[in-house]
Amino acid sequence: MHHLTKFAWASAVLPYPSSCSHEFLTLVLSMVEQRLSQMNSPGAHSLLWSLWAVGHPISVGTAFTKWLRLNVDLSNMSTVVDVLLMDAEWQRSIDESFWLCLLIPASRTGSPQKVIAKWSRMAELPNWVVQSSEPWDLSKVERNRPELAKYLQRFSALQKWVQPTSSNHWDKLSALIDFVDVRLKWGIPEFPATPLQLLSLLDTFAQSREHWLKVAGGAKAEVLEHAFGSRKWKDFEIALECGTFVGYTATRLAVQMWRKGAGTINARVMTIEVDPVQACIARHFLDLAGLARAVEVAIGQVKDVVPRVIDDFGARSLGFIFMDYKGSIFHSDLQLLEHLGALAVDGMEVADNVALPGAPLLLWHLAFGPSWTLVAYAMVEFFEPNTEDWMALGKYTGPAGDAPPAPASWERLSWHTDHMRRRACGLRPTEGDMFEEDRVVYSRHIRRHFTAAGIEAQPWVGPSDLDFEEEHS
Ligand SMILES: C[S@@+](CC[C@H](N)C(=O)[O-])C[C@H]1O[C@@H](n2cnc3c(N)ncnc32)[C@H](O)[C@@H]1O
């Protein structure tokens, strides 16, 4: 089964003619259906994504519903829901609430489940959907979350939603929902007071190590606002955030857009999140802040969702893009947007975590690509005054071709940043956790490559900093 689903994935990503991959995937589907009891969550995810990626005539929703009808255990498949939702959003399908309700059994009890129920409009799991109520044991973990199996000793009680990163991830998000729900002013949201109150609540919650949230706050928020304000906005242009998490920066972008749009709230911010439960939390907060009609939270991987920018808003509509997810793929997703013709000429790109864990290939693309002008800012990490990170600001000067290929050493460096990302997520237990001193050393290592190529960052000194135009005049 494992090999079948890997082959299916390979047939979707390798450049085969689509007729070959369609035939091959039809064959894999029929073989899989005869062995459904052996299916696991990652395999199901690969296979459904492959069907979607090649535009197979059997839709992912039809295939998955058939598996459920064949009595596959939902608790062995729950991680496929992001593909089902991404497909449903592309198709504007009415099945979205049904797919959302599949998330409930595998999510943390309490507030996360309530938030999912809100967006699944109380849809209920039909009684023909099988889901085992047995507590999780090693075999369940191996089948559903094989990446967790090696780290079991970290968890005292095994629950379906645990993450290797931090065993308290979902507890923290549950506490965050409760914290915001009881404090955000009730009644009709006022603009911009209620979104600003939401931002301040999220800042307050995050100001303890125990509650730390991976959002672009503090100096990084200042850089974002600076970049946002450094261009003249046209009425039809939108801002895109890649990596939503709980909607913190999406809220900030909506407020900025309101300021630029002379007080009108139009649907001009789009944000993309691969984790459907986090997307539900972000939608909930944005809704409480009165921003549901200003911000579209799309579910899926950035590379699969960004073509919707063209579909929904048109060519050259992207005035601003904030990349805040996995630095080693920023450059390829940005190139996709360039090739699609989505970026406005003079559009701004801002990327976070460029020096820690690092986004070397993006920096190379912005520094040496003929379509970009780069400015990098250096700042220290929240709570870690010795740890330096960079944000990269690129100004798109119009389509002028690709950057020369990055040296092999930069490709290797990019690969290594993923290794560090996995380690920071607890996925390298034999190498131990990342402590502050590891981050200081790693950032220095990454920056040495940048400075050797002649790329320097200027220290971010606050909102009164020079504006982009002046820096290049
Ligand atoms: C650092 S957090 C984003 C924080 C957010 N930008 C803010 O400042 O409020 C990164 C988020 O990206 C999401 N993510 C990771 N890889 C992704 C991908 N390929 N496509 C979409 N989202 C992704 C993660 O699930 C996580 O929620």
Give yes or no for residue 471 having a pLDDT over 50: no
| 144: number of Cβ within 10 Å | 23
**In terms of domains, do 354 and 223 share one?**
yes
Note whether residue 170 is domain-resident: no
Over the stretch 306-355, which tens digit does the pLDDT of each residue have? Answer: 999 999 999 999 999 999 999 999 999 999 999 999 999 999 999 999 99
Give yes or no for residue 305 having a pLDDT over 70: yes
> What CA–CA distance (Å, rounded) separates 390 from 380?
8
Note whether residue 157 is domain-resident: no
Q: Do residues 281 and 115 touch, judged by C-beta distance below 8 A? A: yes
What percent of the chain has a predicted confidence (pLDDT) above 70? Answer: 94
> What CA–CA distance (Å, rounded) separates 139 from 460?
50
Give yes or no for residue 50 having a pLDDT over 60: yes
| 214: number of Cβ within 10 Å | 15
46-50, 246-250, 344-348, 418-422: range with lowest mean pLDDT: 418-422
pLDDT of residue 166: 66
Of 131, 146, 161, which closes a domain?
A: 146
DSSP 300-369: S-HHHHTHHHHHHH-TT-EEEEEE-S-GGGHHHHHHHHHHHT-EEEEEEEEES-IIIII-HHHHHHHHH-
Q: Is the CB of 215 under 6 A from ligand 1?
A: yes
Q: Is the CB of 169 under 6 A from ligand 1?
A: no
pLDDT category at 125 given cuts 50, 70, 90 is very high
**In terms of domains, do 139 and 274 share one?**
no
pTM of the complete model beyond 0.85:
yes
Enclosing domain of residue 427: 176-472
pLDDT of residue 468: 52
**In terms of domains, do 302 and 209 share one?**
yes
Candidates 366, 387, 359; CA nearest to 449 is 359
Give yes or no for residue 467 having a pLDDT over 60: no
Q: Is the CB of 326 under 6 A from ligand 1?
A: yes
pLDDT of residue 470: 46
Candidates 260, 281, 293, 267; CA nearest to 198 is 281
Give yes or no for residue 119 having a pLDDT over 60: yes
321 φ/ψ angles, rounded to the nearest 5 degrees: -135, 130
Note whether residue 153 is domain-resident: no
Cα 66 to middle of ligand 1, angstroms: 31
Q: Is the CB of 272 under 6 A from ligand 1?
A: yes
Q: Do residues 343 and 396 touch, judged by C-beta distance below 8 A? A: yes
Average pLDDT for 52-81: 94
**In terms of domains, do 44 and 139 share one?**
yes
Nearest CA to ligand 1 atom 16: 325
Note whether residue 167 is domain-resident: no
Sign of CA dihedral 300, 304, 307, 311: negative
Cα 358 to middle of ligand 1, angstroms: 15
Q: In what order do the strands lie in the sheet with 372-381?
A: 295-299, 269-273, 238-242, 318-323, 343-351, 384-396, 372-381, 458-459
> What CA–CA distance (Å, rounded) separates 194 from 455?
40
> What CA–CA distance (Å, rounded) separates 350 from 319?
11
Question: What is the average pLDDT value for the chain, to the nearest integer?
Answer: 91
More confident residue, 465 or 6: 6
Give yes or no for residue 146 having a pLDDT over 70: yes
Give yes or no for residue 389 having a pLDDT over 70: yes
59 φ/ψ angles, rounded to the nearest 5 degrees: -75, 160
Of 146, 166, 197, which closes a domain?
A: 146
pLDDT category at 262 given cuts 50, 70, 90 is low
More confident residue, 77 or 388: 388
Give yes or no for residue 17 having a pLDDT over 50: yes
Which helix (H) or strand (E) covers residue 395, if one does? Answer: strand 384-396
57-66, 125-134, 216-225, 444-453: range with lowest mean pLDDT: 125-134
Note whether residue 289 is domain-resident: yes
Of 125, 146, 167, which closes a domain?
A: 146
**DSSP designation for 402:** P
Over the stretch 159-191, which tens digit does the pLDDT of each residue have? Answer: 777 766 666 889 999 999 999 999 998 789 999
Note whether residue 76 is domain-resident: yes
Helix (H, G, I), strand (E, B) or coil at 386: strand
Give yes or no for residue 472 having a pLDDT over 60: no
pLDDT of residue 473: 36
pLDDT of residue 466: 46
**In terms of domains, do 448 and 340 share one?**
yes
> What CA–CA distance (Å, rounded) separates 334 from 433?
31
Give yes or no for residue 465 having a pLDDT over 60: no
**In terms of domains, do 192 and 107 share one?**
no
In the chain, how many domains are there?
2
What percent of the chain has a predicted confidence (pLDDT) above 90? Answer: 74
Nearest CA to ligand 1 atom 20: 301
Over the stretch 421-464, which tens digit does the pLDDT of each residue have? Answer: 988 877 776 777 788 899 999 999 999 999 999 999 999 998 86
Note whether residue 198 is domain-resident: yes
**In terms of domains, do 248 and 396 share one?**
yes
What CATH number has the domain bearing residue 280?
Answer: 3.40.50.150
Q: Is the CB of 302 under 6 A from ligand 1?
A: yes
Which helix (H) or strand (E) covers residue 173, if one does? Answer: helix 169-183
